[in-house]
């Protein structure tokens, strides 16, 4: 939550749901939701659930930074602050 509060994206967010291992067991409407994650496996799963938008944060030298992700529906940024706020409409 602190990461979100310290970036520009926080001014346009209505609701935040921070999940752990059980993110796919939450009772939410994927087609109305925007998801931000770094785990390629989870990002693909979110796309498969017809999420409104799926955004990958790909920081250098992290656990998932070398994982290839060839999915044109997943937008990739290097940080939360780098996300183009216009795409979140």
pTM score of the predicted model? 0.82
What are the pLDDT digits (tens) for 41-89? 889 988 998 999 999 999 889 888 888 888 888 999 998 889 888 887 7
Range of the domain at 47: 2-88
* Total domains present in the chain: 1
Number of H helices, E strands in the chain: 2, 3
SS (H, E, C) the chain: CHHHHCCHHHHHCCCCCCCCCCHHHCCCCHHHCEEEECCHHHHHHHHHCCCCEEEEECCCCCCCCCCCCCCCCEEEECCHHHCCHHHHC
């Amino acid at each position: 939550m602190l990461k979100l509060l310290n970036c520009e994206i926080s001014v346009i967010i209505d609701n935040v749901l921070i999940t752990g291992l059980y993110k796919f067991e939450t009772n939410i409407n994927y087609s109305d939701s925007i998801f931000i994650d770094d785990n390629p496996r989870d990002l693909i799963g979110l796309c498969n659930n017809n999420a409104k938008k799926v955004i990958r944060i790909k920081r250098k030298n992290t656990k998932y930074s070398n994982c290839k992700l060839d999915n044109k529906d997943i937008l990739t940024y290097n940080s939360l602050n780098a996300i183009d706020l216009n795409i979140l409409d």
